[in-house]
Structure 1
Amino acid sequence: MAPNELHAHVNPDEVIRKCARRIVPLALFGFFLCYLDRSNVGMASLTMNADLGITPAMYGWGVGLFFWGYCLFEVPSNIALARFGARVWIARIMVMWGAASLAMAWVWSPESYYVLRFLLGVAEAGFVPGIIYYFRLWFPERYNNRMIGLFLLANPLSALIGNPLSGLLLQLDGVLDMKGWQWLFIIESVPTILFGLVIFMLLPSSPGGVKWLATAEKEWLENELERERMARQGIKSESVAGVLFSGRIWVLSSIYLGIVVGIYGVGFFLPQIVKEFGLSTASVGFVSAIPSAFGAVAMVLWSRHSDKTGERAGHTAIGCAMTMVGLTLAAYAPTPTISMVGLTLTSMGTLAGMVTFWSMPNALISGGQAAAAFGLINTIGSFGGVVGPNIMGFLRDSTGDFRSGLLGLAACQIVGIAVALYFRKAVNAARAAQARTSTFSMPQEGFGTRGGE
């Protein structure tokens, strides 16, 4: 039977549904734990900072040290992932970062806080771009943005669930002669170690090795992914070294840098900003979850609209613009309510822009160098986790309030807007080239179309 006849009865949307059911929940929950263990220091800081004598500037520096470790080991980690396979490497990452997060329960000084934040970054390096690279091995471009959106949905969900949970865990102060923030780190890190073992047992390596796809479905998926890979190579083919020294990749990464500056500059200080509204520690956890709730909705709707229109760069630029407006509004808000509106717009803009941004390099980067390129982009972008919290912490110490810090974060969005618009033509051309090689050019009713939403 000819290949075209063999694939004639394959329903692409059904194939992707099967893959998504097996893969996306594992990736999403892994990132949920990842972001929880990375950011729960924000809630812990409400009591930990006073216990350890940590000032806002010291806290911001310690938060940033996480990203120094993360950035230094990001590219090597992703090269290793491509060599050893996603299942083994991602499981290794999760077990190690869970152990580092658990050790945070026993910090005793600002210096020990600095060391463990750095080690947590080293341990976690490679997880997010590794999953995004892994998705390329399973999902054609038509579906990839939706899958990335579902995966990154764990970011706001972790704050939506994690902040209230952390606020309640802080109330365990005194149990077994331990501080509430110690219980927070213990209870929220152990599941990560256990889930790393689950990833090792359940995450499939490649379409060809699974039993839950029929032979024709496997062949269709592998052929489709190969066609897209060849289309990307036809656009531009570079060695790994060429990618690492590519000016285009570095400029493209500046978009993600601005987005991350907004995410972490606000995220790590949000509980402290909300605390200044005069709320109790437990209430802070619930109120600081509000921006994440709206951010989660924005991510889903924005990624779907981007998939429907096939446009990525303009959507990313709009997300950066919304972030800038939200930060400016929060900086000059006369009341806590208006401040929360601004912070909510900020969350919506950063998260919506983040999910559409990752489809830009996905369209432009080809072949085996993709893992290294994604690692480099995430490394450069993650440096925003150093810049954002340090801007907030330094200016909070210098001025006594958060206004200057919020305005500094807003200014960083200008670069992201400009660069996203600059790359718009190139991204659209790359997507058009991939569409010409695809075995399906017209949307089918179901998973990847409006009818299936």
Structure 2
Amino acid sequence: MQEASSPGPAAIRKITWRLIPFLGLIYLIAYIDRQNVSYAKLQMVGDLGLSEYAYGLGASLFFIGYFLFEVPSNVVLEKVGARLWFTRIILSWGLVTIALAFTQSTAMFYILRFLLGACEAGFFPGVLYVLTIWFPFEHRARMVGSFMIFSAVANAIGAPIGGALLDLDGALGLRGWQWVFVVTGIPAVLMGVVTLLYLEDRPETARFLSDEERRWLSQTLAKEDRDMRKTVHANPFSALLDRRVILMSAYYIAFPLAAYGLSYWLPTIVQGFGVSNTANGFINIIPWVIVAVALRVVPAMAAKSGTQTPYIVGPALFGAACLVLSVYVPGSAVKFAFLCGAAAGIFSAQPVMWSLPSSFLTGASAAAGLAAINSVGNLGGFIAQNVVPWIRDETGSTIAPMLFLAACLTVGALMTFPVQAVIRRHREAGMIAPPPRRASLSH
């Protein structure tokens, strides 16, 4: 706790209100622009002659572009600053989203989804890195949770927007799925311009902080790095070979896999209840309202307790159990209730998990390491968008895909224990060994 005379609380409040709503709004737009394909799918599959598998492959190519460009993007961000680089990211993905409205073939769909991933690459891990230079460790899980709430809001408002836009079918000569891409792409282009004018690069140059608040933050972060014996690699790309980063990359796969497997196919599952496109959209608001509440509550509980493991493992196992129960319970309403619980468990564990890498990495190493973990982990989205439709096509039902997602999420939850053990052993070894004279190149 900070003393009453400390500038810390005031600084944290100012930074929170300055950054989190703004970055969250951009993330909301990003999430809508990557998820809008799940609503466009309901019409474009027929128009373009796509099979369920071909659609899943095209949708998942987003993650290949994301994977290839995420680490370089974050390293560039650390060099040039968040203001210019976020502006580039946002403008480019907005233009590609609009271009998706004019897809005329399967090949064009594949290319544009790949480009969307390449353009957006670096935004989410870029925000995670930005939070490490603006917030002390004890605040980060809550800040990531608050930031991720906007993804839940995106799913909530994206659902009715997507359904309503589909019902504009034929207006101005455009199909409903084309309206989905045009209307959801324009806000990104506009926010790119706003970002250039609004965002600050670093605390040292922040005009909204006083000199005393800037000094407090700089001293607090420096002391934290020393006390937690965080790693700074001589070359930031060396962070990719750090055993803790490699292990966390494999560990994180389960969470995007379960999240995207559920959220991409949730509209299709609800459509099976026999509702209209617009009703489908409004029904899909419900799980994301619950997710938003969980994203607020779980990280706050973790921060209050000072521990991470129970608040990663517990929600993840709860989510897996809900996925299994959604398969076997009778009645559409009860199935949907368990899917809501699954979504809450899957998403609320992630902000606490994301506090782990910044407990052992700092500086450019944190930028590269966070991007590596997110890029490899998000291959879970690629797996989900190919394996889930393949399982569905093979079985003819949604039962087997849900069991697959539950099994993957369970494995991810249980991996928390060895991950924490490796991080703890490395820190304890560092406390015993004498401080290094220079940054380590490998681990």
On whether the aligned pair clears a TM of 0.5, the verdict is yes
The residue number in structure 2 matching 1:24 is: 20
Q: Report the CA distance between 1:400 and its aligned residue.
A: 1.1
**What pairs up with 1:24-423 in 2 under 5 angstroms?**
24-232=20-228, 234-239=229-234, 240-423=236-419
1:418 and 1:431 mapped to 2: Cα distance? 21
Identity among equivalent pairs (%): 34
Deviations 1:162-216 (A, max 9, x none): 1111111111111111101111111111010110111111111112212222211
Count residues in correspondence.
427
Deviations 1:90-130 (A, max 9, x none): 11000000011111100112221111111100100000000
**Contact preservation (8 Å) 2:132, 2:362:** no
Select the residue among 7, 11, 14 that pairs with 1:11: 7
Q: Report the CA distance between 1:8 and its aligned residue.
A: 8.4
Q: Report the CA distance between 1:363 and its aligned residue.
A: 1.0
1:343 and 1:82 mapped to 2: Cα distance? 38
1:229 and 1:115 mapped to 2: Cα distance? 42
2:264 and 2:86 mapped to 1: Cα distance? 25
User: Structure 1: any 5+ residue segments left out of the alignment?
Assistant: 1-6, 434-453
Deviations 1:423-446 (A, max 9, x none): 33566789999xxxxxxxxxxxxx
Matching residue's letter, 2:81: G
Q: Report the CA distance between 1:341 and its aligned residue.
A: 1.6
1:218 and 1:237 mapped to 2: Cα distance? 22
Distance 1:334 1:272, change over 3 A: same
**Contact preservation (8 Å) 1:312, 1:427:** no
**Contact preservation (8 Å) 1:169, 1:183:** yes
Distance 1:177 1:235, change over 3 A: closer
Q: Report the CA distance between 1:411 and its aligned residue.
A: 1.0
Q: Report the CA distance between 1:334 and its aligned residue.
A: 2.2
* SS of aligned partner of 2:104: coil
Distance 1:8 1:296, change over 3 A: closer
Deviations 1:202-245 (A, max 9, x none): 1111122122222111111111111122334x254544343212
Deviations 1:342-394 (A, max 9, x none): 21111101111111110111112233211000010001111011011212110
Matching residue's letter, 1:275: Q
Distance 1:184 1:72, change over 3 A: same
Deviations 1:228-264 (A, max 9, x none): 22334x2545443432122321212233210100110
1:142 and 1:247 mapped to 2: Cα distance? 24
**Contact preservation (8 Å) 2:7, 2:212:** no
1:212 and 1:250 mapped to 2: Cα distance? 38
* SS of aligned partner of 2:253: helix
**Contact preservation (8 Å) 1:229, 1:367:** no
**Contact preservation (8 Å) 2:327, 2:335:** yes
Matching residue's letter, 2:365: Q
**Contact preservation (8 Å) 1:295, 1:352:** yes
The residue number in structure 2 matching 1:448 is: none
2:284 and 2:386 mapped to 1: Cα distance? 20
**Contact preservation (8 Å) 2:231, 2:365:** no
- What's the TM-score once normalised by structure 1's chain length? 0.90
**Contact preservation (8 Å) 1:100, 1:119:** yes
Deviations 1:40-86 (A, max 9, x none): 11111111111111221111111111101110111111111111111
Q: Does 151-160 or 252-261 show the bigger shift?
A: 252-261
1:35 and 1:399 mapped to 2: Cα distance? 30
Distance 1:46 1:8, change over 3 A: closer
**Contact preservation (8 Å) 1:313, 1:360:** no
Matching residue's letter, 1:378: N
* SS of aligned partner of 2:268: helix
1:270 and 1:111 mapped to 2: Cα distance? 26
Matching residue's letter, 1:333: V
1:270 and 1:364 mapped to 2: Cα distance? 36
**Contact preservation (8 Å) 1:363, 1:431:** no
Matching residue's letter, 1:325: A
2:4 and 2:157 mapped to 1: Cα distance? 44
2:141 and 2:428 mapped to 1: Cα distance? 15
Distance 1:151 1:429, change over 3 A: farther
The residue number in structure 1 matching 2:432 is: none
2:415 and 2:238 mapped to 1: Cα distance? 21
1:429 and 1:31 mapped to 2: Cα distance? 35
The root-mean-square deviation of aligned C-alpha atoms, in Å, is 2.0
